[in-house]
Amino acid sequence: MRVLRSAQRTAIRSSAALPSTPSLRSQLQFRCSSSSSSSSSSHRRPEGDNAQVRIAATSFQRQRRTFASSSRRSSDNKARTTTALGQEFPADDYTNLPSSILSRLAPTPILLSNPSHPLTLLQSQIQSHLASLTPTASFTPITPPNPIVSAELNFSDLGFPENHPGRSPTDTYYLNRQTCLRTHTSAHEVEVFRQGHTSWLLAADVYRRDEIDASHYPIFHQMEGARIFSLEKYEPSSSGGGKSPVEIECEQIEARLAASDVQIEVEDNVNLEDAGGIQPSHDKRVALLAARHLKAVLNSLVLELFGERHRADLKAAGSSGKAAEPLRVRWISATFPFTTPSYEVEVWFRGKWLEILGCGVVMDRTLQNAGVKNHLGWAFGLGLERIAMVLYSIPDIRLFWSTDERFLRQFSIAPPPISTQTGSGQHAGVSPAGGKSHRPLITFTPYSRHPPCYKDVSFWLPSAQEGTASFHENDFCEIVRDTAADLAEDVSRIDEFVHPKTGRRSLCYRINYRSMDRNLENEEVNAVHAQVIERLVDKFGMEIR
């Protein structure tokens, strides 16, 4: 549900790593460093090992420049295809899917198939809670479809305009102009509604080109939830004492929230117009009731996820639980192409506001595209990794892909099943809002901390007349990630320089290499970094400084 971040609109094609060059690699000698240091001066006046890097790479670049340019031109004219999940896709100027992503594609999410994975535990907790909310609540778990979708399904059907930055190949993985990897679980909203589901949950892997740091990864997981009601469910009835079924359900959820043994304080001062206003096709009373239902459900979910952890933190700090400080939640206005009005939900957790999810009233256009008439309701989307990192104190998003038993066994608990309704309206084995959690509070214990290796690379940006691909920072990160895989912990731009006479622009990036599971040998990092430089020169014709 999260709106894709802003990006330039340059079409980029991926390029496979060229064979390694022993002559270059033998010239590159690096040192591993356990701490960061300023590099502005080394960007302008290379010294020591950094000087060797730039001198060797510059010599290598001069030897290859003519070959690389002609190679790019000839490869542009060849018909290419990309094979993904057993299908062949004709390539074009949008194709940018690297081998590092292709190797992790699967028909269904890999990580969510492991019952002892932290993401699976979180998914199960959300499903169990929403199933327990009211006697009439029933959220159908949807099997995640294939991650390869049409651009129309991912963008157009949800109202993304043609010039929306999220469509750019700098942000999205494309097999070709017509086909991409889903960037959000919302890509399946129309399809699921068309199948007749009115109350459902879908958790799946999603893909975005992004920066490299401890909280960003090109593959992550979202959970999409939606509930729509027929318009008659919004109408008051005599059997409901003059209240509609939707209003009665709102009151039930709100009452359970008020009875919670963890105090919750909800700040909701959203201006309706700032959130997008009421859709022209909607009755205002009905739309506001749908928004009220949405807020009741999600406030309850936030309490379920963070309430026990909040109380444990207070006790650990020597506070007296409920009376010390409430769990604070706030609603703010947002803008999404597929909901109006739209909101974001934040929780005050461990001293800062944390964005949890995006949500809103489903666009009538979405339901019309699905062939659903006379219904109105809401949808939300949340990032599972983002919440799991906070709840379980997982410091690095790369750990979710670790197969190290020292990581996985810390989450080896049996999640309580989603049970059916009992006569009292409660559910066995789940933790309703206002009740006591039956799930242990898991805090990840780091099992090792290996030293990092910092490597810098400085280069002059080529001019537009040199016939090379345009440069975007995500492209640089993609080369690093595709070459170093999960050995790349962080990439940051540490310096920028414009020559006072020529006006040429130079950038300097620092790559932090660190394994989560073992110590890296200096020679191994040298070899990986040399490949990064080779690919940078070949892809963009960079002149290494």
In DSSP terms, 326 is beta-bridged to none
355/383 Cα distance (integer angstroms) = 10
Tens digits of per-residue pLDDT, 242-252? 999 999 999 99
* E strand intervals along 337-374: 339-349, 352-362
**Domain range summary for the chain, segments of one domain joined by +:** 22-89+450-544, 111-208+215-394+405-411
CB–CB of 453/522 below 8 Å?
A: yes
322/262 Cα distance (integer angstroms) = 6
Tens digits of per-residue pLDDT, 152-202? 999 998 889 999 999 999 999 999 999 999 999 999 999 999 999 999 999
Q: Which CATH number fits domain 111-208+215-394+405-411: 3.40.228.10, 3.50.50.60, 3.30.930.10, 3.40.47.10?
A: 3.30.930.10
User: Among residues 83, 105, 212, 79, which one has the least CA distance to residue 479?
Assistant: 212
The pLDDT, as a whole number, for residue 438 is: 55
User: Among residues 471, 456, 489, 415, which one has the least CA distance to residue 213?
Assistant: 489
pTM score, whole prediction: 0.76
CB–CB of 172/183 below 8 Å?
A: yes
Chain centroid to CA 484: 20
Q: Cβ atoms within 10 A of the Cβ of 252, count?
A: 17
The pLDDT, as a whole number, for residue 431 is: 37
Q: Which token pair is 256?
A: 């359970």
The CATH class for the domain spanning 22-89+450-544 reads alpha beta
| pLDDT, averaged across the chain | 81
Q: What share of the chain is helix, strand, coil (3-state, %, to 5)?
A: 35, 20, 40
H or E stretch covering 55? helix 48-76
Ranges of the chain with pLDDT below 50: 1-78, 321-323, 415, 417-437
User: Among residues 289, 277, 269, which one has the least CA distance to residue 339?
Assistant: 277
> Could you tell me the CA-to-CA distances from 52 to 22, 24, 373, 525 in Å, in that order?
15, 11, 68, 15
The pLDDT, as a whole number, for residue 465 is: 54
User: Among residues 354, 356, 358, which one has the least CA distance to residue 344?
Assistant: 358
The pLDDT, as a whole number, for residue 469 is: 60
